[in-house]
Structure 1
């Protein structure tokens, strides 16, 4: 089988309150990565805004926009100019009172190749996303592009093996996770380390269990809680790319904005799945319990 490689670029970004500044930083990163040969470029979750989900504030809905809309228009123009595929993240206004956390894939010619609406929506201190986002209704459907079939997910989705598996079963060539994750600055150092390691392990496990590469693009930097009731969030960066056996292909700093590009050989998935045939050996006749919330005895 001939090699099928794609140069994947990540923009690990610190985001502030000004949308135009954030979007300009995203575009600068896209240009830099394109100069270094990136063909597929991934941005972090909700990169045009500060992380507004730290509190339940109805004025946050004023940040939402339609798709297509201003952000997709601007990034589509850059995709067309540079000939790259871009995975962006938009606070989508679908209708009055109906909003989604949506990933948008822009093809090399600037058109929207597809969208993914975040399916798993968290709701706990500092991450009040259920207030802001309606759960996705597009399912776990990969998006076909000129660089491959992209299994695009988002942030909290990254903890759910079911989501990764369904994307893989639908033929995704790789999994991509725009994300915004960090820790509470008041947590003990030991607890921070446990959380960070769990996050890394979970993503690498998706790669191994499904035999496909995984791409994770996170925010970085600290953002205050606008209410002043909590110490805010310190996003832990560490954006990374791993291959189909969970092997490291590239990683970014835990503390600084960065761009990262790595060559990903999509053809290796065939070889890896032949050696580790998890899809062959799945007992699909015995998994009915997965459709239940809990198996009460």
Structure 2
């Protein structure tokens, strides 16, 4: 399967962001992509750097304007498209939601972000209600997609549950970067940890992983910090953690990767981690902490 990744820098002009996204999606499709994945909250700036009730105006229903817009693109290009939207479910209930669009433009399924961070410059708990759709792959013509979102990528349980439910690959739309006061060695440690954790999910579950990050600097409207420099570095890894393609940390790029889904079967035969799991001894995983 040919997969396209769109690593993009956004502006405050949503209409410009949408036009750029469409251009990049078309470029991926022209290079043969059957599945195209966009970064987290791709329509706008990353608005979670501050707690501002006016930002809820960015949210929209699903189905809604964005699913119609991107659905038309998916239908025209005959691709499966993974989008990442700010969902307005009801007054006071909003989600960070990935919506997968089928080749005919219809909604194949959606996933609501389960793990919600609350850190300086990442005040997501103010905006997003935790997901309630569970860890269920989305069935598409491109395979069963285990779509998770950003902060979910640090949790092996989320990846494992998607794999146990039959996901063919794991997909992580992402918005992660450095605060500008981070020293160079700390920046490298953070980025390395991010890559290692996702490569670990690939190895532990015998599945390819597709991770698509934002890129570029976005200022903090409150001026309490120096903003976030999103580190890009979008990548695809195979089921043994082998890196197939990687983007830069400072440029907009469209990546194309060839994924052999049949290879996962062979990897699971030689590394039968699922066979050897001690499910009889894992009950304590449902506890917050073992005192």
Q: What's the TM-score once normalised by structure 1's chain length?
A: 0.98
2:265 pairs with one of 270, 280, 297: 270
| Gap runs ≥5 in structure 2 | none
1:142 pairs with one of 134, 137, 145: 137
SS of 2:274's equivalent in the other structure is helix
How far 1:248 moved relative to its partner?
A: 1.1
How far 1:16 moved relative to its partner?
A: 1.2
- Identify which range, 104-113 or 17-26, moves more after superposition: 17-26
How far 1:51 moved relative to its partner?
A: 0.5
1:94 pairs with one of 89, 102, 107: 89
> How do residues 224-239 of structure 1 correspond to structure 2 at under 5 angstroms?
224-239=219-234
Correspondence 1:51 to 2:49: no
- Identify which range, 131-140 or 10-19, moves more after superposition: 10-19
SS of 2:275's equivalent in the other structure is helix
Correspondence 1:14 to 2:9: yes
- Mapped partners of 1:152, 1:26: distance in 2: 19
SS of 1:279's equivalent in the other structure is coil
What is aligned with 1:284?
Answer: 279
Correspondence 1:68 to 2:60: no
| Gap runs ≥5 in structure 1 | 1-5
- Mapped partners of 1:18, 1:292: distance in 2: 44
> How do residues 100-249 of structure 1 correspond to structure 2 at under 5 angstroms?
100-249=95-244
How far 1:47 moved relative to its partner?
A: 0.4
- Mapped partners of 2:10, 2:149: distance in 1: 17
What is aligned with 2:250?
Answer: 255
SS of 2:240's equivalent in the other structure is coil
- Mapped partners of 1:16, 1:154: distance in 2: 21
Q: What's the TM-score once normalised by structure 2's chain length?
A: 1.00
Deviations 1:68-119 (A, max 9, x none): 1111100000000000000000000001111000000000000000000000
Q: Considering only aligned residues, what root-mean-square deviation do their CA atoms show, in Å?
A: 0.4
SS of 2:40's equivalent in the other structure is coil
- Mapped partners of 2:119, 2:15: distance in 1: 29
What is aligned with 1:3?
Answer: none
- Mapped partners of 2:197, 2:222: distance in 1: 32
SS of 2:259's equivalent in the other structure is strand
How far 1:40 moved relative to its partner?
A: 0.2
Deviations 1:146-187 (A, max 9, x none): 010000000000000000000000000000000000011101
- Mapped partners of 1:289, 1:25: distance in 2: 47
Q: How many residues align?
A: 291
How far 1:123 moved relative to its partner?
A: 0.2
SS of 1:265's equivalent in the other structure is coil
